[in-house]
Amino acid sequence: MTDSFRSRRRTRRAVTATGFILGGALVTAGLAPVAQAADSYPPSGDAALGAAQPTFAGYRIRDILDWSPQTDPHAELLRARIPLQPRIEPLRATQANPELTGDAQVLLMQGDYGNAFFGSTPNSGEFSEHALNFWQYTDIYAPWHGAATASTPQALYDPATSDWRNRGFEFGSVNVPNPAYTDAAHRNGAKSIATIYFDPAFRPGVSVDELMLERRADGTFPVADKLIEMAGYFGYDGYFFNKEEHSALFEDGDFKAFMAYLTAHGMYTNYYDVNSSIDDAKVDWLRDDAHGRIHDSLFVNYGWPSWASDESEWQRIRTEYGPDLYDEFFLGVEANQGGFGGGHPTASEFSRLYEPGSNDPRTSVALFTPSDFYQRALDDALPGLRGTEPLPLMQTDEYQWMITERERMYFSGVRSDVTQTGEQAGFARPDVGVPDAGQWVGVADFTPERSVAGGSRFASWFNTGHGVGWWEDGEASSSQEWTNIAIQSLLPSWQWWFQTSSGNPSGLRADFDYGPGLDRKGVDGQIVETPFQRIGAYRGGSSLAIYGDLGEDTTMRLFKTDLGVERATTVDVTYAAPAGGAAVQLAVVYADAPDEVETYPLGQSSTGWRTASVDLGAQTGRRIATLGVTLSGAQGAVQVNLGGVQVRSGNATPTAPSGFSVDRLYSSGEALLSWDLQPFTEVDSYQVYAVRGGTRTWLGGTYDAALHVDDLDLSASKGDLTLELVAIGKDGSVSKPASRRISLSAAVSSVTVKESAAPTGLLTQAADAGAVEVSWKAPASPARVGGYLVRLTPVDVTDPEPVEVRVPASARTAVVPVADPEGRTYDVSVAPLNPGGKPRGDMAISYRGETHDSFAAPYLAADVVSSAEGWRLTPPSCWDWRTLTVSYDGVEQFTATRGGNDANRTLLGLRAFPEAAQITVVLTDYAGNRSEPLVLDVAALRAQR
């Protein structure tokens, strides 16, 4: 297989990292400081993101007031479109621990692919991103890593020198979840909520008071309405509010009214403050007589182990606040500090939360940043390897197996066996940097597995959401690294659960197989042998390898389901047996006989992939409660790879997609594609391929009506290119393709723009003010060209007005005038004209860039607030301001650098009226432009009080 259509292979990012703590105030006073974990490094060099690649940013409250999807960068490509899926009713008899009621919910707060502050994307060309494997133990997901605001230049950030206590750039106060994570959460029946975060220590220059920048006469809140609109557009479910700031807003009832408004309009809301008790002071943020329901639930801080063993305290809580303890109270676990070795009481003393005689928590549970420990802190766990790799270990492919195993230990229990959870005194895993794993019970110890696998159809390809390649029908279709958790399969409900015929411990193990292109390194930095033969996937990026000493017949439980059996029901199992020759059987537990495993032979095993189909029509009317496989018929070392499990019932193959369009084709090899979205009840995902010279190469996948792809090789010498789009059904069936042919011989190539660095060195922009000079190479078939149409279209504006320039066929450059002096994102396209002068629009090749910024917007008088106590500044409306300088009668008083200095920390504070006659306020922007001064008459300000 070759990647003949691609322009380049992504290479590793050559930078290093320092530590980072985002929410220091979430730590109870007196506890040890949080371990410093690695920063996620922005892509650079050949791995740098394309200019048109969708990235998401943090939001200022000012940004939210003016928000619209038309002006928000990349908004149309950042939507989570998978609806929140219903979970099946629990059948406790088939749980790994049948004693668990499952009443307690789990709120998981952690990073997504990492903790990237810039360049966060739904899908990337890197394998070494974290794709959560344990949605079955998650009821609510909230992101926790922060994101720089959209206007912040990435050049301000150097992870090698960045100080986590003062980053020197501005974070958004609102961090929306990665849409790919929202899609994955919804696919698995979990909510996904955004984070609202104000903290003077880590968010200097912003304040919770900004929520009240505007309030209507009827008492409603424009900011709240925009937050509701954003959640609806981007597809997430609500907001977590993190209180880290003292403000009168919390005392006068305005904040409660604001959050009650969000909650009443369908947003799921959770609230955190430092109170570690369940008492009137805490519950006052949940509901009160004046506002009714304020928040749906509360995060209870980390001091609860001091009282959790007191039965009288629980009796008081139930009497005063029951019976909704599971819906309303989430007791926090400081997972990063706790680790596996009991570094925090909320981890080492977690069992204090259990009901007497059971493992059921008395309330719901909030897990705070476990990935900071099992993923980001791998570099801390292996300090001897610092500096041995170009990137932090957490972003190095060869160490991802350690992160996966540490994640599994956290959720499944430290023995990676859901039947052996709980504290394991003396247990250690030094091979993955865990010298003490004895004091964490594992999430599976207190939470039964959840599942959405209902109805009559099901499919899983054991695709974890990232890979070092992509396979179709067992054949490699791409050797490109990738991550996109939005197309993650429904993964096994248990990691892992083996049952032998004798009841003795099994000698089998399991792990995901990413193919021969992924090596492993050990704690000494050297290559270590993978414990199974790496054969890759059948469809997607990974398969499930079952390996080890068989010894006796062994059943592996895979999926918790509630699938109705119909006359046409079949179960297809795709598997390979590269070692040992074990016989494989389908293992089914029916709901009407939950203690019995019924097996169905799959035929003769093969070292290569084969698909066996089992007809279950004779079981019509029964319901499948679990699906698994039984291995038998061999002794000693065996390996079986599962490539897919499909439950079919009749024809569920989707129709071919309609409306397939190549909306933009960039000279960089990027493309923006769109089509008509079919309902999620019919289509599980879409996959896109490039076809050239008989080779069909996977480009990416999504469940959406649009997709950005990159690295297309647009060389006309290699022939025309066809893009294909298929829809994947709920049973894994594949539609006929929709296709678009790109005639590269008739298109221009090498579209570039004359650019230069801004005076500050922070931005790259068009070299000349008021113009964009674009150049290109002629098509390979120039005889058909009658001229060129050059069109510049502003991006991220409500009503873009393209500017067109026509030039003769002999031209290879054009200058397009730009009226707006503010630097703006644009697309400029070059399309050949036919001899009659009509444009060949489908042959346009584009370039994305920034116009020359020669203007800094001034500070607005409307942004100044006057009161009896004095005057104050509110955050500048100007979106790209960098510094703000205040002078009294021409004498400079201070300069605040956005997100960066002590003056910025006090920027919004109340100030006494000066004795001076005039106050002037001047802004500079990131390009280095200086605004016209705003001149304020002090006497007039006093009169406004």
pLDDT in tens, 367-393: 999 999 999 999 999 999 999 999 999
For residue 175, what are the contacts with CB-CB under 8 A and spacing of at least 6?
58, 59, 143, 144, 145, 146, 147, 194, 195, 197
Give the chain's domains with CATH numbers: 19-84+93-337+356-410 (3.20.20.80), 454-649 (2.60.120.260), 661-742 (2.60.40.10), 749-850 (2.60.40.10), 861-943 (2.60.40)
pLDDT value, residue 819: 95
Q: How far is 203 from 909, CA to CA, in rounded Å?
A: 14
Residue 3 pLDDT exceeds 60: no
Residue 240 pLDDT exceeds 80: yes
pLDDT value, residue 412: 99
Evaluate whether 727 touches 678 at the Cβ level (below 8 Å): yes
SS3 state of residue 212: helix
pLDDT value, residue 167: 81
Q: Please tell me the least confidently modeled range out of 1-5, 290-294, 678-682.
A: 1-5
* Share above pLDDT 90 across residues of the chain, in percent, rounded to a whole number: 83
Evaluate whether 96 touches 494 at the Cβ level (below 8 Å): yes
**Mean pLDDT in residue range 700-709:** 98
Instruction: Say which amino acid occupies 166.
Output: N
pLDDT bracket for residue 133 (50, 70, 90): very high
**Mean pLDDT in residue range 2-25:** 34
Residue 71 pLDDT exceeds 80: yes
Residue 284 pLDDT exceeds 90: yes
DSSP code, position 208? G
pLDDT value, residue 841: 64
pLDDT bracket for residue 793 (50, 70, 90): very high
**Mean pLDDT in residue range 412-435:** 98
The rounded mean pLDDT for the chain is 93
Most confidently predicted of 183-197, 708-722, 771-785: 183-197
pLDDT value, residue 46: 64
Q: How far is 159 from 578, CA to CA, in rounded Å?
A: 44
DSSP 531-562: SS-----SSBS-EEEEEEE--S-EEEEEEEEE
Q: How far is 129 from 133, CA to CA, in rounded Å?
A: 12
Task: Find the radius of gyration of the CA atoms of the chain.
Answer: 29
Residue 801 pLDDT exceeds 60: yes
pLDDT bracket for residue 249 (50, 70, 90): confident
Residue 21 pLDDT exceeds 60: no
pLDDT value, residue 112: 97
pLDDT value, residue 406: 99
pLDDT value, residue 109: 98
Residue 34 pLDDT exceeds 70: no
pLDDT value, residue 17: 31
Residue 25 pLDDT exceeds 80: no
